[in-house]
């Protein structure tokens, strides 16, 4: 009867165990690397989608003709700007005021309650009211102008309101960087609000409007998506959304008091261009996993205008 393993049997067993361990450790390592890669792709995908959605949502309210691109001190409309112009900028109308009213619940509809179901500003203008002798008064029926004042003041941290020439009124027309104040240009194509009268729903312009139509839009801020913090080693940068500045008042996104919010970091590509009635936004984001590996996700979103 055998009472022990021979030396050869032990060696063979050790060799087999070593081979099994090597294979198993390789499978475990591959599984771990695969998990890290999947996790990195998932993170990059979420960050990218959030950033693109944020930009697209705000671009939906861009005033026609105000979307431009910049590279340093150079500026051009998005449809003709060179591909290397990185910064995207536009004037957005006040969608919050346009959609707001001060109805809070069904109880507000009783006869004794003074809450209004009017929007803060209706977007309609009674052109028959504005006469030659009264060219700077706009009648806007269906507007709750005190509410518009409150909404704009709160959103802008009291930097803009309806009584000091900081809110712009846009009638349909050909606006671009040459006539709304981009980079110090004269804002000849836009007028600002000097005051309002809530009793008769009128807006007083800072100067006579050269052109008045039945529709208008109010704007209290321009917006800019700006690449910053370039990392030459990684070839990445961060994207910031800058807002609460008014080109028609001589401000730009580098002015004092401008709000800034990080959209996404580790960006490798940010390109925008326009085709017909569409604005295309393409972005790529890098996410590291492990010491030397990277996952790069690219997406493109289209905003119809």
Please give the pLDDT value at position 15.
74
Closest CA to 220 of 294, 159, 300, 136: 159
Please give the pLDDT value at position 4.
63
Q: How far apart, in whole angstroms, are the C-alpha atoms of residue 149 and residue 164?
A: 11
| 160 within 8 A of 153, measured Cβ to Cβ | yes
pLDDT per residue over 245-298, tens digit each?
A: 999 999 999 998 899 999 999 999 999 999 988 999 999 999 988 777 888 999
Residue 8: both structure tokens together: 């050869």
Please give the pLDDT value at position 112.
46
Given CA atoms 26, 45, 225, 275 in this order, what sign does their dihedral have? positive
Give the distance between the most distant pair of CA atoms in the chain: 124
Please give the pLDDT value at position 17.
72
DSSP 63: P
Question: Strand ranges (DSSP E) for the chain?
Answer: 68-71, 74-77, 87-92, 137-139, 168-170, 191-197, 202-205, 217-219, 221-231, 236-245, 259-275, 278-289, 293-304
| 55 within 8 A of 226, measured Cβ to Cβ | no
Residue 55's CB: how many other CB atoms inside 10 A?
Answer: 24
The residue whose two tokens read 């139509």 is 213
Q: How far apart, in whole angstroms, are the C-alpha atoms of residue 4 and residue 7?
A: 9
Helix (H, G, I), strand (E, B) or coil at 181: coil
Residue 272's CB: how many other CB atoms inside 10 A?
Answer: 22
pLDDT per residue over 205-240, tens digit each?
A: 998 877 889 999 999 999 999 999 999 999 999 999
Closest CA to 246 of 54, 66, 56, 98: 66
Residue 69: strand pairing partners: 76, 88
Kindly state the average pLDDT of the residues 142-166. 95
Please give the pLDDT value at position 235.
93
pTM for the full predicted model: 0.85
Domain ranges of the chain: 7-92+220-305, 93-219
pLDDT of residue 84 exceeding 70 = yes
| 87 within 8 A of 226, measured Cβ to Cβ | yes
């Amino acid at each position: 009867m055998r009472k022990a393993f021979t030396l050869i049997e032990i060696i063979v067993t050790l060799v087999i165990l070593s081979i099994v361990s090597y294979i198993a450790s390789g499978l475990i390592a591959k599984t771990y690397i695969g998990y890290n890669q999947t996790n990195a792709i998932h993170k990059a995908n979420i960050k990218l989608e959030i950033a693109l959605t944020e930009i697209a949502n705000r671009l939906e309210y861009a005033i026609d003709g105000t979307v431009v691109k910049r590279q340093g001190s150079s500026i051009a409309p998005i449809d003709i700007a060179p591909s290397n112009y990185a910064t995207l900028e536009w004037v957005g109308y006040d969608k919050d005021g346009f959609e707001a009213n001060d109805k809070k619940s069904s109880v507000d509809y009783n006869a004794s309650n003074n809450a209004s179901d009017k929007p803060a500003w209706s977007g309609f203008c009674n052109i028959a009211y504005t006469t030659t002798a009264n060219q700077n008064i706009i009648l806007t029926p269906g507007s709750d102008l005190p509410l518009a004042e409150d909404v704009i003041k709160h959103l802008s941290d009291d930097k803009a309101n309806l009584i000091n020439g900081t809110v712009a009124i846009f009638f349909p027309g050909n606006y671009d960087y040459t006539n709304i104040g981009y980079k110090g240009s004269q804002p000849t194509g836009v007028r600002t609000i000097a005051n309002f009268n809530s009793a008769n729903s009128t807006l007083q312009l800072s100067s006579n409007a050269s052109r008045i139509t039945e529709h208008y839009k109010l704007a209290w801020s321009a917006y800019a998506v700006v690449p910053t913090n370039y990392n030459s080693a990684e070839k990445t940068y961060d994207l910031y959304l800058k807002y609460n500045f008014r080109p028609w008042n001589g401000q730009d996104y580098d002015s004092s008091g401008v709000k800034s919010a990080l959209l996404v970091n580790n960006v490798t590509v940010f390109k925008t261009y326009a085709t017909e009635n569409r604005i295309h936004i393409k972005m790529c984001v890098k996410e590291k996993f492990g010491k030397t590996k990277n996952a790069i996700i690219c997406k493109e979103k289209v905003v119809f205008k």
